[in-house]
């Protein structure tokens, strides 16, 4: 029995001595690898669906999507179609159908391609965005003149109204416009892989040549209303989208730049003392 306790005591002494020979790391590093989801996010613009439901003069549908390239950079695109009937009022009869100087219907499709940059710093597991971005957009469409009135100083035949025109009625095909668009918006994950987003857009027309014919391009699908003497347009969207995860990638922290240590200044030499 004494030999057994002697052997056990000797083993414990050796083990304690071996453990004390290794340095103790007081600043242990977190070795857990945190990975973020990368994939394709696709969805629809809810605002155009709602407007189509409540406005009988408007029909529109837009698909939205983005693909994550890096931690903060995304490829983004929108593809849509719009049809809108607009009447330009004449005089005080703004709400009267007979008071419109002319009525036209614009119908066409558009595509927008560009990038988004996320400025929001997420906690681990979050995929939210507060972003800015840019788009190049192109739209092809037609405009149909539904009705118009002819201005005439002589009101003998129509004392209460202008005469209705018929020669210029019809559809004007083959119209197209392109523009650049600045985007600012946000996207928030409300459920796993499901996002609600909203964005505001400011566009400036690149091609704004006056078309041939009597009717100007007063509405452009994807751009919104066009005003005389201005190349700018504004718009917005409210999206519901779903993220299709394709893979996960480690979030690489930014490496801090190592500042070089300042070189020690040479000590001043001792000056000889005067005798």
Minimum mean pLDDT among 93-102, 145-154, 203-212: which range? 93-102
pLDDT above 60: residue 91 = no
- Which pLDDT score, from 0 to 100, does residue 274 have? 54
pLDDT above 50: residue 95 = no
pLDDT above 70: residue 48 = yes
Provide the percentage of residues in the chain whose pLDDT is more than 70. Answer: 63
In this predicted model, what pLDDT tens digit does every residue of 24-43 receive, in sequence order? 555 555 556 667 889 999 99
Which residue would you say has higher pLDDT here, 4 or 129?
A: 129
Minimum mean pLDDT among 53-62, 94-103, 131-140, 191-200: which range? 94-103
Q: Give the span between the Cα atoms of 261 and 264, in whole angstroms.
A: 9
Domain boundaries, the chain: 32-250
Which residue would you say has higher pLDDT here, 258 or 127?
A: 127
Please report the DSSP string for 163-230 in residue order.
EEP-TT-EEEEEEEEEEEEEEEEEEEEEETTEEEEEEEEEEEEEE-PPPSSS----EETTTEE--TT-
Indicate the CATH number of 32-250 among 2.40.160.20, 3.90.180.10, 3.40.1350.10, 3.40.50.1100: 2.40.160.20
pLDDT above 70: residue 204 = yes
């Amino acid at each position: 029995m004494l030999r057994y306790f002697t052997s056990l005591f000797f083993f414990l002494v050796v083990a304690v001595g071996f453990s004390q020979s290794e340095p103790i790391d007081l600043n242990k590093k977190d070795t857990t690898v945190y990975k973020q989801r990368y994939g394709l996010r696709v969805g629809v613009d809810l605002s155009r669906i709602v407007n189509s439901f409540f406005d009988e003069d408007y029909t529109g549908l837009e698909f939205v999507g983005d693909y994550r390239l890096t931690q903060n950079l995304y490829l983004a695109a929108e593809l849509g179609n719009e049809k809108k009937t607009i009447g330009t009022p004449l005089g005080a009869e703004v709400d009267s159908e007979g008071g419109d100087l002319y009525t036209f219907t614009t119908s066409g499709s558009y595509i927008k391609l560009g990038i988004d940059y996320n400025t929001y710093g997420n906690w681990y597991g979050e995929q939210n965005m507060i972003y800015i971005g840019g788009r190049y957009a192109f739209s092809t469409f037609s405009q149909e003149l539904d009705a118009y009135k002819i201005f005439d100083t002589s009101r003998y035949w129509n004392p209460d109204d202008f005469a209705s025109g018929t020669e210029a009625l019809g559809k004007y095909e083959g119209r197209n416009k392109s523009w650049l668009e600045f985007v600012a918006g946000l996207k928030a994950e409300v459920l796993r892989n499901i996002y609600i987003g909203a964005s505001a857009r400011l566009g400036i027309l690149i091609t704004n040549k006056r078309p041939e014919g009597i009717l100007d391009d007063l509405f452009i699908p994807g751009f919104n209303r066009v005003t005389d003497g201005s190349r700018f347009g504004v718009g917005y969207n409210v999206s519901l989208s779903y993220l299709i995860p394709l893979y996960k990638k480690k979030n690489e922290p930014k490496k801090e730049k190592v500042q070089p240590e300042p070189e020690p200044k040479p000590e001043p030499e001792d000056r000889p003392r005067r005798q």
